Amino acid sequence: MPNITITLTDTQLKGLEYAALSPQDWAENAVTNRARIANDEIIQMYTTRALDEGVQIPSTRELIVADAFTRGWAKTAAQAQAEAQETP
């Protein structure tokens, strides 16, 4: 499972300690919730497109997200940005 590591200054950490009981828990919650929202968007897009194109929908959320990327229906933000920059 991938790990994401961030480095904060002492001042930034103090700010988070002011705002949250646990800066670690707050950061994990923020990241996991954003990932959940993105996956929900991918699943909605995939389901609509699969139904429109007669594609069998995989049985789990994980398989749907994986297949969306395999089919090129979903792209990373970096891929989408690169494609946008290529377009005149």
* 46: nearest Cα among 18, 65, 28: 65
Q: Which residue has the tokens 């480095």?
A: 7
What does the pLDDT read at residue 84?
Answer: 93
Residue 37 — φ and ψ, nearest 5°? -60, -45
Q: How far apart are CA 74 and CA 49, in angstroms?
A: 11
- Say what percent of the chain tops pLDDT 70: 98
The per-residue pLDDT for range 16-50, each reduced to its tens digit, is 999 999 999 999 999 999 999 999 999 999 999 99
Query: What's the predicted TM-score (pTM) here?
Result: 0.87
